[in-house]
Amino acid sequence: MKTVSLTIDGKKVKARQGEKVLWAALDNGIYIPNLCARRETLAPDASCRLCWVEVKGKSQPVTACTETSEEGMVVNTRGPAALRLARTALELLLASNVVDCANCPKSGSCELQKIAAHLKVKLKTRRFRKLLRNLPVDSSSPVFTYDPNKCVLCGQCIWVCRERLGIGALGFAHRGFNRRMTTFGDEPIGQSECQECRECVLACPTGALCFKDKPGS
C-alpha cells in the first residue's frame, strides 16, 4: 500500500495514497466536523458543508471530504476562513432544525452537539431566523421513531439501507427547504420495505432516528 506524508495542524501524518484529507485527519486523532461523509463512498456528496479546511497554496478553503491527500500537503483545520464557512453551515442547519437537547434521547451522543462545541457555536444560535418544518413524527415502526424535524439530511441512513444492506426502504424526496428523508411513496416506515434491522438508527448522527427500547443509543 502506497502512502503519502502530509502535515495537518502542524502534525506530520501518513495517509493511504488517494485518501481524502478528512479520513487522514480523523485516523490521526485530528477532528474535522462532518456529517455526510462515508469512507466507502468514492464520490462524496459533500452536502453538509461542515468539513472546511485550508490548504497551503490554495486561495480558498476546501472540503476535507473531497480533497485528496497529497505528498507534502500542509492542511490547517483551524484557519479563520475555514472556520467561518463551517460555522455558517452549522448555524444554517441549526436554524431549520428542532434543537431540544433537554428532551432528546440522543443528547450526549448527538453529533450536532459535538460539532457545535468544536466550532464554538451555540446550539440555540440566533444569527439566522429560525425556520422550522413542523413535520409529523413517524412512530409506525415497532423498533424506532423518525423525527424529520431533527434530520440533518446527511443521507447516512439512506446509504446504509440501500448500499450496505441492499434494502432501499429509505430515500430523499423533494428539494430545497422541503427536502426530507422518507420511504418510497412516502408511506409510514412501519408499512414500508423496512426490515427493522436497526442499522439506519445506528447510522443517524442526530436524534432523528431513535430506538424505542434504547432511546439514548
Which residues bind to ligand FES, rule: CB under 6 A? 34-37, 46-51, 63, 65
Question: At its nearest, how many Å lie between ligand FES and the CB of residue 32?
Answer: 8
Taking the least distance from each CB to ligand FES, the nearer of 115 and 209 is 115
Cβ closer to ligand FES: 91 or 138? 91
Find the shortest distance in angstroms from Cβ 6 to ligand FES.
18
Q: How far is CA 41 from CA 16, 24, 117, in A?
A: 15, 15, 27
Least distance to ligand FES from the beta carbon of 213, Å?
30
Minimum CB distance to ligand FES, residue 211 (Å):
25
Instruction: Return the C-alpha cell found at 212.
Output: 424505542
Question: Residue 66 or 140: which CB sits closer to ligand FES?
Answer: 66
Which residue's CB is nearer to ligand FES, number 180 or number 198? 180
- Nearer residue to ligand FES within complex by CB, 179 or 198: 179
Beta bridge mates, 16: 3
Rounded to the nearest whole angstrom, what is the least distance from the CB of residue 65 to ligand FES in the complex?
A: 3
Q: Are 27 and 15 in contact (CB under 8 A)?
A: yes
Cell matching residue 187: 408511506
How far apart CA 34 and CA 47 sit, in angstroms, is: 10
Q: What is the spatial distance between Cα 150 and Cα 118, in angstroms, rounded to a whole number? A: 20
